[in-house]
Amino acid sequence: MNIQKTLLIFLLWGVSFYSIAQSQQAIQQVVEQAYQEFKDVQEGKNADYIKELAKVDPSIFGIVMVDIDGNIYSAGDNFSQVSIQSVSKAFVLSLVLNESGPEVIKNKVGANATGFPFNSIIAMEINRESGINSMVNAGAIATTSLVNGATADDKWNAIVKKLSEFAGRPLEVDEPVYISEAGDNQRNVAQAQLLKAYDKIYFDADQSVDIYTRQCALSVHARDLAIMAATLASGGKNPITNSRVVSTEAVSYTLPVMATAGLYENSGKWLYQTGLPGKSGVGGALIAVVPGKFGIAVVSPPLDEAGNSVKGQLAINYIVEKLNLNPYLVESGN
Ligand code: GLU
């Protein structure tokens, strides 16, 4: 190779390195702007039907984005922990898809939107034949019951192991949250019994609810959640640990269910605004996945009427718009 060619290669390398650094700086700036823009929003209220959640500091506000190369962009409280709650449903779904394949979920749980709140019994009745989905409580309890393992301990260990692999660190249960919800869980117990009556639960009903309640009480912070979402964005490979967590196929069936029902009865509105699969939890966590690009997570406990983090929705909407992340926004090129 002559000297001119070598110099040209160095120059091009330098230019592309510079433009990557520039665009990373731009992403960090947008995340900081989103934080500044919404940090003083006072709307919403912590969930209180699980008593322990009412005690969580409502001022926690953290935004983290992780790209599929493992770069992290953040603002606010990266490391304040909340219980994962319903966000766990997306990851347990991907675990079951990874173990058993898409037909099992399609035939035994379903993948249709209910249009009803997350714990609706009417939705179970109406969708008795067609099935519901793994993002609402009844479908999530059925999904948890499908995790491989002969005993409740086996199933639980598989869930903690897999969700920890998604996060890239060992996750632990927030015991006070678990105890609080387990003591007040009549509605979920009733839903599991109804599933049993309909032959739609695949392990002991009470034990399935107990495992589900524990999975919802796992403690996570915004950075964990963004890494978990980025693992979905990268087709199942954790971009920080570089280990494969679930198959690409499992992710390809998880994201549509999130898009269909990840934000409860407001899932359509969310998809209309962002174009992205998302999942919220009543602990105040909200994640969104930009396939092939980013995982985005916000933690902020005050919720709207449907149970979705108010600041979470505002911040992610802002980021999606500023960085043009809506996958339906296609430039025609002419
Ligand atoms: N553990 C909660 C429940 O079953 C999760 C609800 C949620 O985050 O949507 O009620």
Question: Is residue 262 lining ligand 1, measured as CB closer than 6 Å?
Answer: no
Q: What is the DSSP letter of 85?
A: T
Using left for φ > 0, alpha for ψ between -120 and 50, and beta otherwise, residue 178 falls in alpha
4, part of any domain: no
Q: Report percent pLDDT > 70 for the chain.
A: 96
289, part of any domain: yes
The answer to whether residues 284 and 312 touch, using CB atoms and an 8 Å cutoff, is: yes
Average pLDDT over residues 101-105: 97
14, part of any domain: no
Q: pTM for this one? A: 0.93
Question: Is residue 239 lining ligand 1, measured as CB closer than 6 Å?
Answer: no
Residue with CA at minimum distance from ligand 1 atom 7: 86
330, part of any domain: no
Helix (H, G, I), strand (E, B) or coil at 279: strand
Question: Is residue 112 lining ligand 1, measured as CB closer than 6 Å?
Answer: no
Tell me how crowded residue 83 is: count the other CB atoms within 10 A of its CB.
30
| Domain at 115, CATH number | 3.40.710.10
Amino acid at 2: N
In the chain, the number of structural domains is 1
Structure tokens at 156: 């639980």
Q: How confident is the model at residue 118 (pLDDT cuts 50, 70, 90)?
A: confident
**Is pLDDT of 295 > 70?**
yes
Residue 281 alpha carbon to ligand 1 centre in Å = 7
Calculate the CA dihedral of residues 99, 278, 178, 83 and round it to 10 degrees: 120
The Cα 289–Cα 307 span in angstroms is: 19
Give the number of the atom of ligand 1 that is nearest the alpha carbon of residue 86.
8
Tell me how crowded residue 265 is: count the other CB atoms within 10 A of its CB.
20
Domain range enclosing 241: 37-323
Q: How confident is the model at residue 91 (pLDDT cuts 50, 70, 90)?
A: very high
Q: For residue range 32-70, what is the model confidence (pLDDT) as tens digits?
A: 999 999 999 999 999 999 999 999 999 999 999 999 999
Helix (H, G, I), strand (E, B) or coil at 233: helix
296, part of any domain: yes
Cα dihedral sign for 121, 127, 128, 133? negative
Average pLDDT over residues 86-106: 98
Question: Is residue 285 lining ligand 1, measured as CB closer than 6 Å?
Answer: no
The Cα 200–Cα 143 span in angstroms is: 10
29, part of any domain: no
Average pLDDT over residues 293-311: 97
Please report the pLDDT score of residue 334 as a whole number. 59
CA angle 125, 131, 133 (to 5 degrees): 105
Please report the pLDDT score of residue 1 as a whole number. 58
Q: For residue range 241-280, what is the model confidence (pLDDT) as tens digits?
A: 999 999 999 999 999 999 999 998 899 999 999 999 999 9
Helix (H, G, I), strand (E, B) or coil at 187: helix
Structure tokens at 169: 């660190």
The Cα 239–Cα 228 span in angstroms is: 9
313, part of any domain: yes
191, part of any domain: yes
Amino acid at 309: S
Residue with CA at minimum distance from ligand 1 atom 2: 85
The mean predicted confidence, pLDDT, of the chain is: 94
